[in-house]
Each structure stands twice: as C-alpha cells, then as structure tokens.
Amino acid sequence: MGKADVNPVQTRVAVLISGRGSNLKALIAGQQSGGSYQIALVVSNRSQARGLTIASEAGVPTRVIDHTLFDGREPFERVIDQALNEANVELVCLGGFMRVLTPWFVKRWQDRLLNIHPSLLPAFRGLDTHARALNAGVRVHGCTVHFVRPELDNGPIVVQGVVPVIEGDTEQSLAARVLETEHRAYPEALELITSGRARLIDGRIVVEEGWAGGTIWNELAG
C-alpha cells in the first residue's frame, strides 16, 4: 500500500483500534482514492494490534497507549485526548476499539466521534449481534455508522449497510457478509461528513439535496 497523501485541506482524522484494523484499511483506501479526509493518527490500546502494521505501511503515524497502565478509564482517555490534540485531530473514528468510553471523553468529542456497529441500530445494541439476529429470525441485518453518545450504541445515524440473512446462515457466514459491507459503509460515512454533504442538525443527519445515499445494500448471498 502506498504512502498516505497529505493535503492540508482535508479533515484530519484519528482512528482508534484494538485489533486487526480491517475497517482502518478500508478508511485508508477511501482516503487514497481522493477522500476529503486525511488519517493523521492511529491509536491502539494494544501493542500487538495488526492494524498498527496496516497504518505504518500506509505512512500513518501510530501511538500505543496501553489501558492496563492506568488506574481507571478516564486517566487512560485523557492521554488519548492529549495525543489527538497534539496531532491536530478534528474527528475521531472508532475502528474496532474494544474499550467502553466514558461520558467525559464522549462529551469532549461531541459530534466529532464516529463509530461503526455490526447491526442495524437501534436493533441489537451491545455484543453478539450476529447470533442475536439469527435467533430473532430477522430477514435483513447489517451495520450502522453513527455519531457516538454516552449511551452505548446510540447516536445520530450517518450510513447503514444492509445484508440479507440467508437460509442456513451461521454466525460466522453472516458476520463475514456484514464485515464486507462495513468496509463500504464506513468510508462513505466519513466522506459524507468531511465533505460537508451530510451535516448534523438538531440531533439528526441531513444530507444535501439531490443526494440519495445513506443506505448500502450488499446483495451477496454467499
């Protein structure tokens, strides 16, 4: 993967990760295809996160901030906040960041903090979303990119990716289909926000007139 482009006009974005960084990779690809954002920093709470390698190969600066070295969540988040400010970050994306954020951090980055969740919110908040979707017998499932609020998996929705639930699906096969759609939905949502085509007004996302996006359909059945 080539070096990340640097453009002072682009919105400076940080991505917080804990693991493989597959959504980070998709966001980097979106930037490299001419996006309105620049990934200026990747922060991981785990030094062995594979996403750190993805970032380094793309020329994106990285920081490891180990949550186990802090006495509580807020002290840990204050160091993250300092790193974000030092990098002049304007917007933060959670990309598989396996830490529940405190209200302090969420409010500090109010309307500048995006998350992707593997369900069609408000359905199936929390964990084990694919198993719960199968157990509920829903016909469609998917992912949601939303602005973060103190309440878990809640906040204004930017983009949703929808996948069919196929007869015979397992938790693993459904998860794989959803993940593929996440890799389309997250770059689109970030581009919408940073380009100004989507704005947060009175607690909901409003897109510019004439643009019909907001839902990504994945019709793959296998």
Q: CA 96, 119, 148 angle in degrees (round to 5)?
A: 55
Facing residues of 143 across strands? 161
- Which residues 6+ apart lie within 8 Å of 13 measured at CB? 27, 37, 38, 39, 40, 89, 90, 91, 92, 93, 190, 194
Rg of the chain in Å (alpha carbons):
17
Name the residues annotated as catalytic. 117
Burial 69-106 (b: 16+ CB within 10 A, else e): eeeeeeebbbbbbebbeebebbbbbbbbbeeebbeebb
